[in-house]
């Protein structure tokens, strides 16, 4: 399994793209920075998109992606989320208000809509392309999920925005094929109150979360750092002295 980091920041500044990850060139996890990172030809290869939650920094690129590919897609790209996430996208995003509803628009060169919204059952594996996808709720201001992404040999656990949570770690302990975990850390320790109120993590909170997994050999990939605090957060992560922790960078490619 190949994971390409298209964007891994919790805010947008020059040189810092919003959350978006590409698995094996065809499966997208969130779409914050997708169109700023991928060529038009690479965007055409996307077949399925997993959405962790509907906050703008994770879905903004859905609109520009659809706009780029209209008239070029032979088949609809499936956008997968749990029911609250899909309903939120319908109500707040693809509503012909802030953006055209590319889940409905067709034309002479586009016989099927560019995008199709699909519901994933919570805590149940569903076949999506070449993968088995299992969403599990995590703890955020809006409904947000983690995804267990499993191919024939490995499982990747990708958490959406979250504060301290528990159920996902209980399930992760049962995954013998777990190759890595992608998890957010948005704020430095001095902003713990802000992190708690917005249901995000600090480095100290991150340490307590990975202790729940209790797998020191499993790589933990840290994402969603707020750009203005990036150096401070990285210094605090290094101070944890946890060799399994790795802070992600845009355009990085990982293999599991």
Arithmetic mean of pLDDT, 46-65: 98
| Per-residue pLDDT, 122 | 97
| Per-residue pLDDT, 3 | 98
| Ranges of each domain in the chain | 2-255
pLDDT band at 110 (very low <50, low <70, confident <90, very high): very high
145, containing H or E segment: strand 144-150
Residue 191 has which token pair? 């902003």
Q: What is the pTM of this model?
A: 0.97
Give yes or no for a contact between 9 and 18, defined as CB atoms under 8 angstroms apart. Answer: yes
| Class of CATH domain 2-255 | alpha beta
| Per-residue pLDDT, 134 | 98
| C-alpha span between 24 and 76 (Å, rounded) | 19
Helices and strands counted in the chain (H then E): 8, 14
Distant-in-sequence, close-in-space partners of 22: CB < 8 Å, separation ≥ 6: 3, 4, 6, 28, 29, 34, 38, 46
Arithmetic mean of pLDDT, 225-242: 98
pLDDT band at 50 (very low <50, low <70, confident <90, very high): very high
| C-alpha span between 95 and 13 (Å, rounded) | 28
| Per-residue pLDDT, 198 | 97
| Per-residue pLDDT, 127 | 98
Q: What is the average pLDDT value for the chain, to the nearest integer?
A: 97
pLDDT in tens, 171-198: 999 999 999 999 999 999 999 999 999 9
């Amino acid at each position: 399994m190949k994971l390409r980091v298209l964007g891994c920041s919790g805010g947008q500044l020059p040189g810092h793209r919003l959350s978006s990850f590409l698995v094996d060139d065809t499966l997208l996890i969130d779409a914050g920075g997708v169109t700023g990172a991928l060529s038009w030809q690479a965007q055409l290869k996307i077949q399925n998109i997993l959405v962790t939650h509907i906050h703008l920094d994770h879905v903004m690129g859905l609109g520009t992606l659809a706009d780029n590919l209209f008239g070029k897609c032979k088949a609809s790209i499936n956008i997968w989320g749990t029911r609250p996430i899909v309903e939120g996208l319908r109500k707040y995003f693809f509503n012909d208000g802030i953006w055209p509803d590319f889940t409905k628009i067709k034309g002479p060169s586009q016989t099927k809509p560019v995008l199709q919204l699909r519901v994933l059952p919570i805590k149940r594996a569903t076949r999506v392309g070449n993968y088995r996808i299992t969403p599990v709720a995590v703890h955020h201001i809006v409904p947000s999920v983690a995804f267990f992404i499993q191919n024939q040999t490995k499982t990747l656990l990708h958490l959406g925005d979250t504060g301290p949570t528990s159920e996902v770690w209980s399930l992760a302990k049962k995954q013998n094929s777990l190759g890595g975990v992608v998890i957010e850390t948005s704020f430095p320790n001095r902003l713990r109150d802000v992190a708690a109120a917005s249901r995000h993590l600090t480095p100290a909170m991150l340490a307590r979360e990975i202790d729940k997994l209790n797998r020191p050999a499993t790589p933990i990939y840290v994402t969603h750092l707020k750009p203005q605090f990036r150096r401070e957060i990285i210094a605090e992560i290094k101070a944890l002295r946890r060799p399994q922790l790795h802070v992600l960078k845009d355009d990085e490619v990982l293999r599991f």
